Structure 1
Amino acid sequence: MKMIQEQVDIKTPEYVSLQFKLAGLGSRATAMIVDQFILTVLNIVAILLAIFITSSEMFYVMESGWLVAITIIGLFVVNWGYFFVSEYFFGGKTIGKNMIGIRVIQENGHSLTLLSAIIRNLLRIIDMLPTSYFLGIVLIFFHSKHKRLGDMAAGTIVVHERKAKKQRKSKIEKVIERRGLTVDSFKIEGWAVHNLGEKEWNLLKTYSQKILDLRDYPKRELTTEVASILLPKVGLAVGNQTEEELENMLLVLYLMLKEEWEFEL
């Protein structure tokens, strides 16, 4: 991997070169301000909820320390959970990051893993020291790849979203558009899609390239085989659907994974 000013070039294990623009202190700080505002509201709601639940026995609870303990645990879950859930389940983006157009990825260019998301956000506690993310700000400012401690330990970087190049639509994209398919055409949970990896994406990509050249029986066989492999993994049963319905389900899944795995080179 080599650095060129504010960009990082990554050579993946598959020998594909990817180039990302690193997110600097300014964009990360702006995203954090948005996220902290949201967290402030959530924290206030959590505190008011704790007080409301225990209000009938306020004196006893305060004496025993249970209210304090429950509130502290609740605030930790809210503050840590917000970043963990957002980054792991929503493509490395919190609400603030999404608004600014930045995201967290692995240093090898792949999506954020479960372990990295846990480590990165647990160490957020240290990056916040001594106050207002002072340590994290200093590390991001001086680190060559703008990493805070959590990024160093988790092997992650924060990059700007890459805008897709304007290009002619592929044959399969024209088919998808003609059929009126979108990512919302079928109910597929985000967590289920997130569990699909590069292997599944390559299978879908190969399928989408081949079905346009196949006819009748070979096409039906390929569709049935790929559907039986992938659809159960996202909670969709393969039963009495027609060939076209199975194709549409696979093409919608293709659309959902395309943004995650199809890199602009």
Structure 2
Amino acid sequence: MNQEQMDIKTPEFVSIQFQLAGLGSRTAAFLLDQILLQIINISVFIILLIIMYGEPRWWFLGEQSSIPIALTIIGLFLLNWGYFFACEFFSGGRTLGKKLLGIRVIQENGHSITLLSSFIRNLLRIIDSLPVSYFLGMIMIFFHSKHKRLGDIVAGTIVVHERRRKRKNKLSKIEKEIESRGLSKNDLMIDEWSLKSIGAKEWKLVQTYCNRFLQLGEDERERLTMQVAEILFPKIGLDVTGKNYHDVTNALLVLYLILKDEWEFEL
């Protein structure tokens, strides 16, 4: 019987339970992605024909250079392969189809998918799609204990369900504090590469800091704020030097808002 739940202890000794995504949800997500890609493919060919002939007719009706057609085919191949690679790496393991189905790709250690893992698992789509219509990949997902296809096995990744927590009608104390300061996620610009360096350990640190923030006295709060900032700021490309306590506090609270969307979900 296939394993539906998976407990992972991260390198930071944080225990997380995941619900593995099975063949049904993964197939549905893949079909949604294919529909999107086919719409793009057809649109590109129609535009190409209009540009080459002034109207959408087949290219064998005229004597035109085949170079634009060859370049378009190469470009579409890169787009169809690169779509999964880029989306999974830059969107937290989610293509559009996965996002709509509420599933994502992560590493087996519980961390976000890396550039190399995304490259390997999507490169091996070529083998998983053999002999036709993703047959090999579907067979492996169905029978594998962790619902893995070949690309997942080699890249060390799994696909899991995620269910965002329902938004509470009542704001928490720290959320009220953030709101009273007029802060939002747009107040702190973090590039995608830096955000990828934040793992479960850093999220737990930010979460603990925010949970204790309003319970501490002013002196202890300032000391804790600077200690946490010295640990986290280098990871996101910020420098504590030259920043006053108020600015550092606001930056940490905004970082909490940003990481909350990525890490605070039930699986």
Q: Same fold per TM (> 0.5)?
A: yes
SS in 1 for 2:177: helix
How many equivalent residue pairs? 259
* Stretch of structure 1 that moved more, 87-96 or 11-20: 11-20
- TM-fit CA distance, 1:202: 4.6
Counterpart pick for 2:199 among 191, 197, 200: 197
1:139 matched residue in structure 2: 140
2:33 matched residue in structure 1: 35
| Structure 1 residues not aligned, in runs of 5+ | none
Pair 1:23-2:21 in alignment: yes
What are the equivalent positions in structure 2 for 1:1-265 lying under 5 Å apart? Answer: 5-48=3-46, 59=63, 61-62=65-66, 66-164=67-165, 171-198=173-200, 200-209=202-211, 211-212=213-214, 213-216=216-219, 219-220=221-222, 222-223=224-225, 226-227=228-229, 230-231=232-233, 234=236, 243-262=245-264
Q: Deviations over 1:169-204 (max 9, x none)?
A: 764344234445443444444444233334543543
Is this contact kept in 2: 1:165–1:264, CA < 8 A?
A: no
| Residues 225 and 47 (structure 1), Cα distance of their counterparts in 2 relative to 1, 3 Å cut | farther
CA distance in 1, matches of 2:9, 2:165: 20
- TM-fit CA distance, 1:215: 1.1
Is this contact kept in 2: 1:129–1:135, CA < 8 A?
A: yes
SS in 1 for 2:105: strand
| Residues 13 and 190 (structure 1), Cα distance of their counterparts in 2 relative to 1, 3 Å cut | closer
SS in 1 for 2:104: strand
CA distance in 2, matches of 1:85, 1:169: 35
- TM-fit CA distance, 1:61: 3.4
- TM-fit CA distance, 1:135: 1.5
CA distance in 2, matches of 1:51, 1:238: 56
- TM-fit CA distance, 1:101: 0.8
- TM-fit CA distance, 1:98: 0.8
| Residues 200 and 46 (structure 1), Cα distance of their counterparts in 2 relative to 1, 3 Å cut | farther
CA distance in 1, matches of 2:199, 2:109: 14
Q: Normalized against structure 1, the TM-score is what?
A: 0.78
* Fraction of identical pairs, as percent: 57
Alpha carbon RMSD of aligned pairs, Å? 3.6
- TM-fit CA distance, 1:139: 1.3
The structure whose RCO (Cα within 8 Å, separation 6+) is larger is 2
- One-letter amino acid of the structure 2 residue matched with residue 143 of structure 1: H
* Stretch of structure 1 that moved more, 73-82 or 160-169: 160-169
| Residues 61 and 235 (structure 1), Cα distance of their counterparts in 2 relative to 1, 3 Å cut | farther
SS in 2 for 1:157: strand
